[in-house]
Amino acid sequence: MIYLDNAATTNYKPQEVLDAVRDSLTLYPYNPNRSGNKLSLMLQQKLYETRRKLHLVLNNDSELHVAFTAGCTAALNLAVLGTAQRGHIIITATEHNSVLRPVMQLKKKGYVEVSVAQPDENGEITAEEIERLIRPDTYLVCVSHASNVTGTAQNITDIGKVTKRRNLKLLVDCAQSIGYFPLDMAKCNADMVAIAAHKGLHAMQGAGALIFNKRCIPRPIMFGGTGTESHLYYQPSTVPDCLESGTLPCPAILAMGAGLDWWLRNWKQNRENVTEMQSTILNGLKKIPGVTVYSRPNCSGIVAFNIGKRDSAEIMDLLAERYDVAVRGGLQCAPLMHKYLGTSEQGVVRASVSCVTAKEECYSLLNAVDMISRTSI
């Protein structure tokens, strides 16, 4: 199978990640914070090392301001619901449902009002557009670092200057950017960053993280055992413990740490391959009659397109069944972005490459699309 659905999850896992998962299951099959034996304490130290790596890579103010979650969706829900107050939230048309739905749930309950920042002609959310929507009761701005539909990246530095000047919280969804291109929280004035481990970091599913700073510590939205302060009837107040109820997904967290190490060693060559393969598909699709391309050159490896007026899910199925090429069709859990693109009914076909995608695989996709397009015009 030719795998070009890396924006959903990367199928290539480096040996370092595989080793970390194996070690977690064989050497450290224990429960951190629940025991004082030597191996449990060693596992706790390894979890701390992953926290510290995220702290250093994203440059927030403390490794203790890193909360492990069940994935990026859980991290975004913690960010939105854990900082909720009555007032006004600004989101963008590029947001994934992991941001849109918790925000709209707050709206449904009558707690907040919501404004949507629209992209410009280049698909970018400008700082001016954010500032235009700010109201006296605005308290939170949510921005997707890179669109999971088109791959377009946003200038978080410019947006962060506005949110800092207006004393607003800034939440950045880095699900589609972590492991592809960096973000410096201090430089960008980002208060909360949510990440996934199983995409650009090439780790395993089941773990994500919310990285935050001291001016924006979320309240717990899930309650239970933390392994600390067990005498309390109420949730502890100490971070990150209070945000991590239940047994942590240790194999996935250790895999995340290994993925970070691997990315730091290989980011340059990885980026070169991703951008080259993305450009190969992008430029090739533009030459095929009847194909509409929605993406621009980007570092996320994403190319969104359609063939004529045919349903994107139909094209996805044809590519899989006839040509053994895996892509994503439909709305990619981002309905506001499709409203902006005018593809709410048709959806888009999303091809997404990774650091190990070969040029021959890109050509196979292009040949398949060319064959399908000949019956679609």
Q: Kindly list the domain boundaries of the chain, sorted by start residue.
A: 2-9+267-371, 15-262
pLDDT in tens, 76-124: 999 999 999 999 999 999 999 999 999 999 999 999 999 999 999 999 9
Taking residue 136's Cβ as centre, other Cβ atoms within 10 Å add up to: 6
pTM above 0.95, yes or no: yes
CA distance 371 to 369: 5
Taking residue 124's Cβ as centre, other Cβ atoms within 10 Å add up to: 17
Task: Evaluate whether 2-9+267-371 and 15-262 have a shared fold.
Answer: no
User: Shortest CA distance to 200 belongs to which of 354, 358, 2?
Assistant: 354
Cβ–Cβ < 8 Å for 63, 260 = no
- β partners of residue 92: 117
**DSSP H or E stretch at residue 277:** helix 250-286
User: Shortest CA distance to 96 belongs to which of 173, 163, 183, 5?
Assistant: 173
pLDDT in tens, 270-320: 999 999 999 999 999 999 999 999 999 999 999 999 999 999 999 999 999
CATH top class, domain 15-262: alpha beta
The HSE-up count of residue 139 (CA atoms within 13 Å, CB side) is: 16
pLDDT in tens, 172-228: 999 999 999 999 999 999 999 999 999 999 999 999 999 999 999 999 999 999 888
Cβ–Cβ < 8 Å for 62, 197 = no
User: Shortest CA distance to 253 belongs to which of 58, 38, 23, 81?
Assistant: 23
CA distance 295 to 275: 13
Which CATH topology does 2-9+267-371 take? Aspartate Aminotransferase, domain 1 (3.90.1150)
CA distance 109 to 88: 13
